[in-house]
Amino acid sequence: MITRRELVRALGRRKVSDWIVAEHAQELALADEARGLERREARTRTTLIVHQDVPQGRGTARLELTAQEGSAADVVDQAVALALTAVAPSWKSVAPAAPAKVAMLDPALESADLAEAAAAILGRLRRPAGAAVTASIEVLREQVAVQSSAGLAARWTASHLHAEALITTGERSLQLARDARRAADLGLDAALAAAAVDLAFLGAAGPPAPGPCALVLAADAMLHGEGLGVWAPFAAQADAALARRGLTRYQPGAPIAPGADRVGEPLGIASNGALDFATRSAPVGDEGDAIRQFTLVERGVCTGLGLSPHEAARRGRDPNGGVRNLVIAPGTWDEAAPEQPASSASRTIRTIEVRRLQSLAIDPYTGEASLELLLAIEHAGGAKRPLTGGTVSLDLVAALARARRSATRIRRGPYVGPAAVRIEDAELI
């Protein structure tokens, strides 16, 4: 097995213009109640990026290795040959910047036996009365070392937990998933308790009546799909390579949607890859680029893009590590009163509080999305009625630019921001 040190020595012997080696030594443990399975894994992943400058320009190659017979010299030769078959216009790597200071290791997992830790988390799970719960926990601990020809040498240890659970009461069930870097941040107990409540609502839920409504997206609906949920289009639109090719919906300096800079609480979004214990944090990126906090949207106007080293060089800027965790500026709206209209001028006569989605389909080109409702509460005239089914189609970029954001903040996985948003003038179909 080729080690990082061997690769670095081989790179030193070969005339390589620029290189980065990243090594991830990972330990994983999985405890799965449904399958009656305990699984452990040890793996090492090494990434080698080589830039080779020739008179015609710069060639780049990326090799992912997990185990390799042969010699480090062969791997370096292969990387250089690959780079020379793909030479692009020249660009220069920027000097390395200081890695971001960020905590990513759960102290409780620093030296723990991961299988025992996973089993302990399952053992401590608070299972709601009257519900059957089967859960699985995967715990990862990894030691990362990144080294570059420009002198960067960064090392850190990180942990990551992924939990899935199926909660069943009678003839109904809900599936949950949570990701976190610390066991304490998983929030599985609260998620199970909320799911048990929602299962009871589902039992009484009826079909929705189509028509106009105000839409409140509660946290589980807003962050459907374990990641950024409805906020994902903003990360996609901040891809600098796509923006350069004119394939994004808006460009830096322009409002993200017509009038987005003139609403009462203009939207603000930042990427922060240096947020302690957030799931997409890291000191440096895969290409040795330092992770930085930067704004994507400020007062409704696009202000920044995720810049890889290559894109940054093309623009004469410093790389920022790309879009990582999203931090959304909270608003002033009180989500505890979801039926409250945004203004007296609103024509909306009912509010649909969406608790959970069946599916969320987003066109990242445009931000157009279809939200299939699994469970919602209709608030009308002081009455509440649980609903299941129905669809809402939204232009998410425009809708979220104008949405009212709750003052309460939550933090989940790669998201920090309002616990709920309220979108006026939606149409339930």
Partner 1 sequence: MSPNRRELLGVLGTASASTLLWALGCTGPARRPRAAARPRGEVRTWLRDAVARLAAVFPAVHVLAVSRQRTSAAVDVIGTGVARERRDGAVLAVRDPKGRWHEQATSELTQAGIDVAVRALAGGPASRRASLSLGAPPPPPDEPAALDDRALGDRCEQITQLDEKLSSRIVYAAALVDVDDARVWSISPAHDREQRLVRVREQALRAAWNGTRPVTALAERGWIGGIDDQALGREAVEQATEDALRLMTPGAFEDGERVVLLDPTVAASLVDAAVRALWTSAAARRPEVRRRAAPGGPGAPALPAFLSITDDPTAPGAYGGFQFDDEGVPAAPIVLVDGGRPVGVLADRAAGGPEGRGGRGGRGRRPGHVGAVEPAPSHLKLAAGPFDHAELRGEGLTLEGALGASVDPGTGRVVIGCARAREQKGGEPTGRIHADVELTGDLSALLGNVTGLGKDALAVPYRDERAGEPCWRSAEAPHVRTRGLVRARRRRA
In the bound state with partner 1, the residue whose beta carbon lies nearer, of 329 and 399, is 399
Tell me which stretch binds partner 1 (CB under 8 A): 100-108, 211-219, 239-247, 272-280. 239-247
Binding mask 31-50 for partner 1 (x = CB under 8 A): -x-xxxxxxxxxxxx---x-
**Reduced 3-state DSSP string for the chain:** CCCHHHHHHHHHHCCCCEEEEEEEEEEEEEEECCCCEEEEEEEEEEEEEEEEEECCEEEEEEEEECCCCCCHHHHHHHHHHHHHCCEECCCCCCCCCCCCCCCCCCHHHCCCCHHHHHHHHHHHCCCCCCCEEEEEEEEEEEEEEEEECCCCEEEEEEEEEEEEEEEEECCEEEEEEEEECCHHHCCHHHHHHHHHHHHHHHHHCECCCCEEEEEEECHHHHCCCCCCHHHHHHHHHCEHHHHHCCCCCCCCCCECCCCCCCCCCCCCEEECCCCCCCCCCCCECCCCCECCCEEEEECCEECCCECCHHHHHHHCCCCCCCCCCEEECCCCECCCCCCCCCCCCCCCCCEEEEEEEEEEEEECCCCEEEEEEEEEEEEECCEEEEECCCEEEEEHHHHHHHCEEECCEEEECCEEEECCEEEEEEEEC
Does residue 66 interact with partner 1 by CB under 8 A? yes
Instruction: Indicate which single residue of 6, 9, 63, 425 sits in contact with partner 1 (rule: CB under 8 A).
Output: 63
Compute the least distance from the CB of residue 152 to partner 1, in Å.
Answer: 18
Residue 82 contacts partner 1 per CB under 8 A: yes
Interacting residues with partner 1 between 256 and 295 (CB under 8 A): none
Return the range that interacts with partner 1 (CB under 8 A); candidates 9-17, 75-83, 122-130, 190-198.
Answer: 75-83
Q: Which amino acid is at 266?
A: P
Interface with partner 1, residue 358, by CB under 8 A: yes
151 is a contact residue toward partner 1 (CB under 8 A): no
- Region from 106-114, 182-190, 345-353, 364-372 binding partner 1, contact rule CB under 8 A: 364-372
Question: Is there binding between residue 93 and partner 1 (CB under 8 A)?
Answer: no
Measured from the CB of residue 344, what is the shortest distance to partner 1 in angstroms? 26
Mark 376-395 with x for binding to partner 1 (rule: CB under 8 A) and - for no binding.
Answer: ------------xx-x-xxx
Distance in angstroms (rounded) separating the CA atoms of residues 106 and 111: 10
Provide the minimum distance between the beta carbon of 363 and partner 1 in the complex, in angstroms, as a whole number. 7
Least CB distance to partner 1 at residue 213 (A)? 15
State yes or no: residue 173 binds partner 1 (CB under 8 A).
Answer: yes
Smaller CB distance to partner 1: residue 34 or 184? 34
Contact call for residue 345 and partner 1 (CB under 8 A) = no
Q: Which is nearer to partner 1, 91 or 341 (CB)?
A: 91
Based on the shown chain and the rule CB under 8 A, indicate whether residue 370 belongs to the binding site for partner 1: yes
Determine which residue in the list 3, 13, 67, 184 makes contact with partner 1, applying CB under 8 A: 67
Q: Helix 4-13 vs helix 72-84: angle between axes, to the nearest 10 degrees?
A: 60
Instruction: Scan residues 211-230 and list those touching partner 1 (CB under 8 A).
Output: none
Give the nearest distance from C-beta 411 to partner 1 in angstroms: 23
Q: Choose the stretch contacting partner 1; rule: CB under 8 A; options: 77-85, 121-129, 254-262, 410-418.
A: 77-85
- Single residue of 374, 376, 400, 423 touching partner 1 by CB under 8 A: 374
- Among candidates 294, 315, 287, which has minimal Cα distance to 152? 287
**Shortest spacing between CB 373 and partner 1, in angstroms:** 10
